[in-house]
């Protein structure tokens, strides 16, 4: 797995956290960098931890399903992606609360990172270097979540749905790329495929 694919997965996974962070920022009467950092820390840690757990679970079964691992990665990423696209239709923040207590934040962190558990399983099948991968995902989610809190506080929920839609499409396309690669034609489309990702992100 290359750095571009890893970056896109990290961004795609972090969109759920970004959406919730936007709602948090929207609910805050006074948004400080400390509050934004707390939100980012919770989301970043859990977003890094869940793929690690998924990877450990996936390694146990990797040898038994090597012949269909690309299909499993495609299905898991596709399900997560379609779910994010569906959730992007929800324009409003359902539970806009500025509470940052441990119970509230752990609940939100688990909810936004549970999809990453399945991605961790795909990492095992794709033989990704897990420590750098989860570290990259955690840091990316932290930065995007902090930005989300600030954006939500200033602009409201304007970018919430677009972020979830973009994240969902990214994960679906990455899953599709695994299938294409399995049939030996990945080299032909790898560069334009990456360009489509980057252009879509820049558009939003």
pLDDT tens, 76-91? Answer: 778 877 877 877 676 5
Neighbours of 18 (CB within 10 A): 28
pLDDT of residue 102: 92
The answer on pLDDT for 63 being more than 70 is no
The answer on pLDDT for 175 being more than 80 is no
> pTM for the full model?
0.72
Q: What range defines the domain where residue 195 resides? A: 3-203
Mean pLDDT of the chain: 78
pLDDT per residue as tens digits for the range 17-42: 888 888 888 888 888 999 999 999 99
Domain count, the chain: 1
pLDDT of residue 138: 96
Query: CA-CA distance, 15 to 164, in Å (whole number)?
Result: 5
> Are residues 173 and 74 in contact, defined by beta-carbon separation less than 8 angstroms?
no
The answer on pLDDT for 149 being more than 60 is yes
The three-class DSSP label of residue 149 is helix
> Are residues 54 and 124 in contact, defined by beta-carbon separation less than 8 angstroms?
yes
The answer on pLDDT for 71 being more than 80 is no
The answer on pLDDT for 95 being more than 80 is no
Structure tokens at 24: 């948090």
């Amino acid at each position: 797995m290359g750095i571009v694919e890893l970056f896109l997965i990290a961004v795609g996974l972090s969109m759920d956290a970004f959406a919730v962070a936007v709602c948090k920022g929207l609910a805050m009467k006074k948004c400080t960098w400390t509050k934004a950092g707390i939100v980012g820390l919770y989301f970043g840690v859990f977003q890094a931890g869940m793929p690690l757990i998924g990877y450990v679970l996936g390694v146990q079964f990797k040898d038994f399903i090597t012949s269909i691992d690309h299909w499993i990665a495609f299905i898991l990423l596709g399900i997560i992606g379609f779910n994010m696209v569906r959730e992007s239709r929800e324009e409003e923040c359902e539970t806009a609360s500025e509470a940052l207590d441990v119970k509230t934040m752990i609940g939100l962190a688990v909810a936004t990172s549970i999809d990453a558990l399945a991605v961790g399983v795909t990492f095992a099948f794709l033989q990704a270097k897990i420590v750098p991968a989860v570290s990259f995902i955690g840091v990316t989610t932290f930065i995007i979540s902090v930005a989300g809190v600030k954006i939500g506080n200033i602009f409201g929920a304007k970018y919430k749905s677009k972020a979830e839609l973009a994240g969902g499409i990214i994960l679906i396309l990455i899953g599709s790329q695994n299938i294409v690669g399995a049939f030996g034609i990945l080299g032909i489309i790898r560069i334009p495929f990456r360009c489509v990702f980057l252009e879509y992100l820049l558009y939003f």
